[in-house]
């Protein structure tokens, strides 16, 4: 073990000093720093001493001399000591590990609350336009495509107000493609990384994704990406059912997230992120029992909203209808419902992360929190280099109303990064939007054009009849005409047959209007640029694979962004697994999964590894040598169809394709696949036994031709199988009927050729 330690203090006044010492227990080498006057001490390692048992008084059998008793000595642990200074003889005791003194200063609660609310307000203003567009895009997807004032006006004028939603089918098409092309997180080693560790992590990641229903969550996130322009992955540890913590992946609504300014889609350059959720006052008191009294007092203060309230007694917050506290268009406190909006703020902070490096032993230690004077002392230790640097950490603050629920500064995370990962569609200059955005105006045009066309058709296509008071014999006949005029073969009595009712016909619907409507639909299709044509039953494998590349051309960036975000999720997940899943727990998970399907670790079955070997692999795994890949899931229907078609074409051309390989890609339930595989295995075994029997029969025929009979042949011809072999005339063989299904041997063949057949 290697470490830096601090010694006791010696002297008074200006002579008072202490040392920092480097101790290497592995080779017994220790070095001390210089004191302010350039002096130092030699550091000595005293190795451990074994226990010496007590020796009773004894007599030497040769000389008769009495050997006095020797007291025993207990075992002594090894220890370090500083030898006295050669000039004045002073020395120091080694106190042990350095005690961190420079901890973060705690801020007042109201200061933290105001900081979080300021960030909330700033982020809301930055993303206001994007969120308004995203909300409108969601309305367009579900068919709310008219402004309320326009709808009201048209209805008041008895005009058509139609919604021909062409956006939803297109979005559903691209969503269907995503669902058939879902991807899996896959860990792969880089350089000299350990493949065995990656295999173990892959099994655990797959279990976590299955327990989280990550495939469905991914499709929901993709829908947010397509419609709103941004979806969110959320990785968290759930302790509700397991005290060890179960990692979960879930979709988080974009409506409940605000982020600071950034240009990188993975938030690499983003300073802060806020997410929120509404809680009842009673629920909050259960979740944060140590803050229950503060929550009660805060709520009373909000009801009064006097100068006594530390947060809301300013002009920065608007009251809604007398029961709401509103900021940036969002309700922070609903007094009537007794609900709070809990805001969780994740922000990056930078701390001093100066490190000390010992070049000979390649020893590195962080000097975070050390006194600057002691940092200078480390630099005087021979062989040490002090490297000044800063390190990014994450601070997590949770507030509700005027109560600071928690403030982790810095938070203890598996990796210092946001555990919320965005999936963008388009993002330019701080604005984000989805594929629906560019289709809004064409969709409005389609709706207005179709509604206008209906109005025109209603007016131009109108037809009717005209008559005067003397057209019909009486009013009864007039009513009969009005009732039956649209029926074939109706009969009425006219007042004068020379003056029948006059028919008025409408105008033909203009063909130009039809062309305009068709043009609007085509424009909308071109702008959405979503055209998916699935392969037919007789499509070749090459055509299917080519169609995979060509479909959705122009929208590949959507799936690239989805994969890009998922790779970051994989990196977060890898570090979280390392934190929350011990090697023993991973071993249990992998062995349980092995019962369902055989698992290979480094090319070897998991049964070949002991729990000690698995522990050693995981504890020595270097995560910097593990990369995250995103591969198309094996259950993708399109992928299975392409591979199956390719194998069938290969088999038709004479390629050696085992039936088991074809069954693997059949689009049937897993139970049916297993049943097919069992039937194929049984059939193959029966054919193998039949071929073996046929070969044995041919061999026995050859031997019998030479006058040599196997025990089975002897039993068939009624002889004792254990009897000694007697030489027989090969031309007088017994009847061998029924001894096998092999081809009969030509008895006239030369005898010397028989061994060649065998």
Which residues on adjacent β-strands are paired with residue 318? 326
Distance separating alpha carbons of residues 698 and 757, to the nearest angstrom: 10
Q: What is the total count of domains within the chain?
A: 4
The whole-number pLDDT of residue 697 equals: 75
Is 321 contained in some domain?
Answer: no
The mean pLDDT of 609-616, rounded to a whole number, is 91
Same domain as 739, residue 656 = no
Same domain as 527, residue 481 = yes
The mean pLDDT of 510-518, rounded to a whole number, is 70
Please report which confidence band the pLDDT of residue 543 belongs to, taking 50, 70 and 90 as the band edges: low
Same domain as 82, residue 33 = yes
**Better-scored residue on pLDDT, 183 or 710:** 183
Which residues on adjacent β-strands are paired with residue 358? 363, 384
> 727: Cβ–Cβ under 8 A, 6 or more apart, which residues?
707
The whole-number pLDDT of residue 743 equals: 40
> 227: Cβ–Cβ under 8 A, 6 or more apart, which residues?
134, 137, 138, 141, 171, 434, 435, 436
Same domain as 531, residue 468 = yes
Please report which confidence band the pLDDT of residue 315 belongs to, taking 50, 70 and 90 as the band edges: very low
Q: What is the CA radius of gyration of the chain?
A: 43
- Which whole-number Å values give the CA distances from 226 to 319, 482, 563, 705, in the listed order? 35, 55, 14, 80
Kindly report the three-state secondary structure assignment for every residue of 245-281. Answer: CEEEEEECCHHHEEECCCCCCCCCCCCEEEEEEEEEH
The whole-number pLDDT of residue 403 equals: 93
Is 654 contained in some domain?
Answer: yes
**Mean pLDDT (the chain, rounded):** 82
**Better-scored residue on pLDDT, 345 or 489:** 345
The whole-number pLDDT of residue 591 equals: 92
Final residue before a domain boundary, out of 487, 508, 538:
538
The whole-number pLDDT of residue 749 equals: 40
The mean pLDDT of 42-62, rounded to a whole number, is 84
- Does 452 have pLDDT greater than 60? yes
CB distance 645 to 536 below 8 Å: no
Distance separating alpha carbons of residues 436 and 748, to the nearest angstrom: 88
Final residue before a domain boundary, out of 502, 518, 538:
538
The whole-number pLDDT of residue 745 equals: 38
Give which of 663, 660, 649, 657 is closest to 544, Cα–Cα.
Answer: 649
Please report which confidence band the pLDDT of residue 471 belongs to, taking 50, 70 and 90 as the band edges: confident
CA 550 to chain centre: 27
Q: Which two tokens stand for residue 650?
A: 């290969």
Same domain as 713, residue 661 = no
The whole-number pLDDT of residue 724 equals: 59
The mean pLDDT of 698-725, rounded to a whole number, is 69
The whole-number pLDDT of residue 496 equals: 83
Q: Which two tokens stand for residue 548?
A: 């995979």
Same domain as 663, residue 696 = no
Please report which confidence band the pLDDT of residue 157 belongs to, taking 50, 70 and 90 as the band edges: confident
Same domain as 10, residue 91 = yes
Is 382 contained in some domain?
Answer: no
The domain containing residue 663 runs over which residues? 640-667
Read off the DSSP letter of residue 531: -
- Does 751 have pLDDT greater than 50? no
Least confident range from 160-169, 188-197, 279-288, 303-312: namely 303-312
Is 304 contained in some domain?
Answer: no
Is 650 contained in some domain?
Answer: yes
The mean pLDDT of 138-165, rounded to a whole number, is 90
Same domain as 661, residue 723 = no
Final residue before a domain boundary, out of 97, 126, 160:
97
Share of the chain above pLDDT 90, in %: 35
> 378: Cβ–Cβ under 8 A, 6 or more apart, which residues?
4, 20, 33, 356, 367, 370, 384, 386
Give which of 237, 241, 231 is closest to 208, Cα–Cα.
Answer: 237
Angle at the Cα of 130 (from 125 to 135), degrees rounded to 5?
Answer: 115
- Does 322 have pLDDT greater than 60? no
Give which of 441, 440, 455, 452 is closest to 517, Cα–Cα.
Answer: 452
- Does 334 have pLDDT greater than 70? yes
Please report which confidence band the pLDDT of residue 360 belongs to, taking 50, 70 and 90 as the band edges: confident
Is 356 contained in some domain?
Answer: no
The mean pLDDT of 86-106, rounded to a whole number, is 79
The whole-number pLDDT of residue 532 equals: 54
Please report which confidence band the pLDDT of residue 561 belongs to, taking 50, 70 and 90 as the band edges: very high
Same domain as 474, residue 522 = yes
Dihedral of CA atoms 246, 248, 253, 259 in degrees, nearest 10, equals 80
Give which of 737, 740, 648 is closest to 698, Cα–Cα.
Answer: 740
The mean pLDDT of 507-514, rounded to a whole number, is 67
Kindly tell me the number of DSSP H helices and DSSP E strands found in the chain. 20, 30
Please report which confidence band the pLDDT of residue 57 belongs to, taking 50, 70 and 90 as the band edges: confident
The whole-number pLDDT of residue 665 equals: 66
CB distance 215 to 548 below 8 Å: no
**Better-scored residue on pLDDT, 53 or 216:** 216
Distance separating alpha carbons of residues 643 and 462, to the nearest angstrom: 59
Distance separating alpha carbons of residues 531 and 512, to the nearest angstrom: 27
The whole-number pLDDT of residue 407 equals: 94
Tell me the CB-side half-sphere exposure of residue 212, using CA atoms within 13 A.
24
Distance separating alpha carbons of residues 592 and 583, to the nearest angstrom: 14
The whole-number pLDDT of residue 449 equals: 83
CB distance 211 to 591 below 8 Å: no
**H or E element that contains 130:** helix 109-142
Same domain as 473, residue 533 = yes
Q: In what order do the strands lie in the sheet with 29-32?
A: 29-32, 20-24, 2-7, 94-97
**Better-scored residue on pLDDT, 520 or 615:** 615
**Better-scored residue on pLDDT, 554 or 88:** 88
Same domain as 730, residue 654 = no
The mean pLDDT of 391-396, rounded to a whole number, is 92
Q: Are strands 94-97 and 66-67 parallel, antiparallel or unpaired?
A: unpaired
Please report which confidence band the pLDDT of residue 54 belongs to, taking 50, 70 and 90 as the band edges: confident
- Does 756 have pLDDT greater than 60? no
pLDDT in tens, 567-593: 999 999 999 999 999 999 999 999 999
Highest mean pLDDT among 304-318, 551-565, 647-661 belongs to: 551-565
Please report which confidence band the pLDDT of residue 250 belongs to, taking 50, 70 and 90 as the band edges: very high
Same domain as 729, residue 660 = no
The mean pLDDT of 658-668, rounded to a whole number, is 70
The whole-number pLDDT of residue 669 equals: 65
**How buried is residue 198: exposed, middle or buried, by Cβ count under 10 Å (0-12/13-18/19+)?**
buried
Is 316 contained in some domain?
Answer: no
- Return the residue matching tokens 């011990």: 582
Please report which confidence band the pLDDT of residue 477 belongs to, taking 50, 70 and 90 as the band edges: confident
Distance separating alpha carbons of residues 503 and 560, to the nearest angstrom: 65
**Better-scored residue on pLDDT, 561 or 304:** 561
Share of the chain above pLDDT 70, in %: 81
The whole-number pLDDT of residue 368 equals: 82
Q: Hey, which bits of 12-161 come out as E strands? A: 20-24, 29-32, 43-46, 58-59, 66-67, 79-82, 94-97
- Return the residue matching tokens 């944060």: 288
Is 26 contained in some domain?
Answer: yes
The whole-number pLDDT of residue 49 equals: 82
Q: Which two tokens stand for residue 645?
A: 């078609």
The whole-number pLDDT of residue 534 equals: 53
Angle at the Cα of 236 (from 230 to 237), degrees rounded to 5?
Answer: 170
The whole-number pLDDT of residue 500 equals: 87
Angle at the Cα of 264 (from 259 to 265), degrees rounded to 5?
Answer: 75
Distance separating alpha carbons of residues 230 and 267, to the nearest angstrom: 13
**506: how many CB neighbours lie within 10 A of its CB?**
13
- Does 446 have pLDDT greater than 80? yes
**How buried is residue 228: exposed, middle or buried, by Cβ count under 10 Å (0-12/13-18/19+)?**
buried
């Amino acid at each position: 073990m290697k470490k830096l330690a601090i010694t006791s203090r010696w002297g008074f006044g200006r002579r008072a000093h202490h040392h920092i010492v480097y101790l290497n227990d592995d080779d017994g080498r220790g070095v001390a720093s210089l004191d302010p006057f350039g002096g130092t001490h030699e550091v000595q390692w005293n190795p451990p001493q074994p226990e010496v048992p007590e020796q009773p008084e004894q007599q030497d059998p040769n000389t008769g001399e009495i050997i006095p008793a020797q007291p025993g000595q207990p075992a002594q642990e090894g220890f370090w000591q500083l030898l006295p200074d050669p000039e004045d003889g002073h020395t120091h005791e080694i106190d042990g590990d350095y005690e961190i003194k420079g901890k973060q200063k705690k801020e007042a609660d109201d200061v933290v609350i105001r900081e979080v609310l300021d960030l909330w307000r700033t982020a809301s203003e930055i993303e206001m336009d994007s969120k308004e567009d995203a909300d409108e895009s969601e309305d367009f997807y579900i068919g709310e495509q008219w402004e309320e004032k326009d709808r009201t006006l048209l209805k008041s004028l008895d005009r058509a107000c139609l919604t021909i939603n062409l956006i939803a089918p297109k979005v559903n098409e691209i969503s269907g493609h995503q669902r058939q092309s879902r991807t899996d997180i896959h860990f792969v080693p880089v350089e000299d990384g350990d493949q065995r560790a990656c295999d173990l992590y892959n099994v655990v990641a797959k279990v976590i994704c299955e327990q989280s229903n990550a495939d469905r969550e991914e499709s929901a996130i993709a829908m947010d990406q397509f419609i709103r322009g941004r979806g969110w992955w959320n990785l968290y540890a759930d302790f509700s059912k397991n005290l060890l913590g179960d990692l979960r992946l879930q979709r988080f609504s974009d409506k409940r997230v605000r982020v600071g300014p950034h240009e990188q889609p993975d938030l690499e350059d983003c300073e802060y992120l806020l997410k929120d959720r509404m809680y009842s006052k009673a629920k909050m008191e259960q979740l944060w029992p140590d803050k229950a009294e503060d929550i009660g007092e805060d709520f009373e203060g909000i009801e009064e909203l006097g100068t006594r309230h530390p947060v809301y007694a300013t002009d920065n917050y608007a009251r809604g209808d007398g029961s709401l506290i509103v900021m940036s268009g969002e309700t922070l406190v609903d007094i009537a419902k007794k609900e709070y909006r809990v805001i969780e703020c994740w922000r990056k902070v930078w701390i001093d992360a100066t490190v000390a490096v010992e070049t000979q032993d390649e020893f590195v230690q962080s000097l975070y929190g050390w006194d600057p004077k002691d940092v200078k002392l480390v630099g005087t230790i021979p062989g040490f280099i002090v490297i000044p640097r800063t390190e990014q950490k994450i601070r997590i603050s949770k507030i509700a109303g005027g109560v600071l629920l928690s403030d982790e500064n810095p938070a203890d995370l598996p990796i210092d990064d946001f555990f919320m990962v965005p999936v963008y569609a388009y993002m330019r200059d701080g604005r984000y939007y989805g594929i629906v955005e560019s289709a809004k105006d064409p969709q409005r045009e389609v709706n207005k054009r179709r509604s206008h066309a209906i109005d025109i058709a209603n007016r131009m296509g109108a037809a009717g009849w005209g008559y005067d008071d003397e057209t019909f014999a009486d009013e009864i006949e007039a009513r009969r005409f009005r009732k039956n005029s649209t029926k074939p073969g109706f009969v009425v009595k006219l007042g004068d047959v020379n003056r029948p009712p006059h028919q008025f016909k409408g105008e033909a619907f203009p063909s130009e209007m039809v062309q305009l409507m068709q043009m609007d639909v085509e424009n909308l299709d071109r702008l959405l640029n979503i055209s998916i044509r699935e392969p037919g039953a007789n499509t070749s494998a090459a055509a299917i694979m080519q169609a995979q590349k060509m479909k959705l051309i122009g929208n590949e960036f959507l799936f690239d962004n989805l994969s890009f975000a998922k790779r970051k999720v994989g990196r977060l997940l890898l570090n979280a697994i390392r934190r929350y899943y011990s090697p023993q727990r991973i071993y249990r998970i992998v062995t349980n999964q092995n019962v369902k399907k055989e698992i290979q670790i480094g090319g070897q079955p998991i049964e070949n590894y002991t729990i000690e070997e698995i522990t050693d692999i995981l504890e020595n795994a270097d995560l910097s040598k593990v990369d995250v890949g995103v591969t198309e899931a094996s259950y993708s229907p399109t992928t299975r169809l392409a591979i199956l078609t390719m194998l069938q074409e290969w088999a038709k051309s004479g390629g050696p394709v085992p039936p088991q390989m074809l069954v693997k890609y059949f689009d049937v339930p897993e139970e049916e696949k297993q049943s097919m595989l069992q039937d194929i295995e049984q059939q193959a075994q029966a054919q193998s036994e039949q071929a073996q029997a046929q070969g044995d029969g041919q061999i026995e025929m050859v031997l019998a031709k030479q006058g040599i009979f196997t025990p089975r042949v002897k039993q068939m011809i009624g002889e004792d199988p254990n009897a000694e072999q007697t030489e027989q005339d090969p031309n007088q063989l017994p009847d061998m009927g029924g001894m096998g299904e092999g081809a009969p041997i030509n008895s006239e063949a030369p005898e010397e050729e028989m061994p060649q057949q065998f």
